[in-house]
Structure 1
Amino acid sequence: MSYEYKVVPAPVKGEKERGLKTGAERFAHALGALMNELGREGWEYWRAETLPAEERAGLTSKTTVFHNLLVFRRPLGGETMAQSVAEAAASSARAKLFSALSPEGRAPKLGPAEEDEA
């Protein structure tokens, strides 16, 4: 399965909303709104990263700053997330079925061997 990725800056402050009193609640609301917006476009949240970047500080010097980024992905080729999950499950089931390390099924109980008298 191949994916395309989208990286966006994480919100740096919360959004005001009725009923949200603390900064953490407002920030969570802003983050949820961003994630829901991208989710409607077919993007699945993958992970968050904090990465360094060198930026100019004044005329001649540079400084390193850190950016918080959110990484989203979606399957290439127009597949939906449900299709890719179903394909992954089927592939996993096939791999287990044909694996030499597959657990064996229950064997029937056998009694003592009987000899034929000829």
Structure 2
Amino acid sequence: MQHYEYTVIPAPGRAEKHKGAKTGADRYAATLADLINAKAAEGWEFQRAETLPAEERTGLTGKTTVYHNLLVFRRARDLEPAQEAGQPVTGHAAPANEDAPAGKKTILVEAPEGAAPKLRASRGD
């Protein structure tokens, strides 16, 4: 069974200027393509874009629901020799990545090829 690690990053909030891009949609598409190509150069494969709700505090006692646009990437994970021998592997948070921006986490999961992954998130304090 192939094992993958996933990383989720926020989608760009605004488009950057690009030569030849005249409309806002063109500029945003070029910005998004640059981001996806940069992750691909690091070995990440783009999976999908998601819009997910999150409850946030407003004021002292209020709460509101906001929606975040996220980009999901994955890459095949190299197995350690003991894991290749057939020992079960459980999902866990990847080791701390010093060059990762704050608030971004990579999660390791198990998923057969072509199947939807089952994410197991852990809280990293």
Q: Same fold (TM over 0.5)?
A: yes
With normalisation by structure 2, the TM-score equals 0.60
Match of 1:18 in 2: 19
Question: Residue type of the partner of 1:32?
Answer: A
Deviations 1:96-116 (A, max 9, x none): xxxxxxxxxxxxxxxxxxxxx
Deviations 1:6-62 (A, max 9, x none): 000011211112221110001001100000000000000011111100111112101
Residue 8 (str. 1) matches residue 2 (str. 2) = no
User: Which of structures 1 and 2 has the bigger CA Rg?
Assistant: 1
Match of 1:91 in 2: none
- In structure 1, C-alpha distance between the alignment counterparts of 2:59 and 2:17, rounded to whole Å: 34
Which structure 1 residue ranges, 5 or more long, are not aligned?
79-87, 89-118
With normalisation by structure 1, the TM-score equals 0.64
Question: Residue type of the partner of 2:17?
Answer: K
Question: Residue type of the partner of 1:27?
Answer: Y
Question: Residue type of the partner of 2:26?
Answer: E
Match of 1:100 in 2: none
1:70, CA displacement in angstroms?
A: 0.5
Match of 2:91 in 1: none
Output the aligned Cα RMSD: 1.4
Does 1 or 2 have the higher relative contact order (CA < 8 Å, sep 6+)? Answer: 2
For these two proteins, the number of residue pairs brought into alignment is 79
- In structure 2, C-alpha distance between the alignment counterparts of 1:30 and 1:58, rounded to whole Å: 34
Segments ≥4 residues shifted beyond 4 Å? none
Task: Tell me whether 37-46 or 9-18 shows the greater mean CA deviation.
Answer: 9-18
- In structure 1, C-alpha distance between the alignment counterparts of 2:59 and 2:28, rounded to whole Å: 31
Match of 2:59 in 1: 58
- In structure 1, C-alpha distance between the alignment counterparts of 2:35 and 2:19, rounded to whole Å: 18
Match of 1:29 in 2: 30
Residue 49 (str. 1) matches residue 50 (str. 2) = yes
SS where residue 70 of structure 2 aligns?
strand
SS where residue 78 of structure 2 aligns?
coil
- In structure 2, C-alpha distance between the alignment counterparts of 1:41 and 1:26, rounded to whole Å: 23
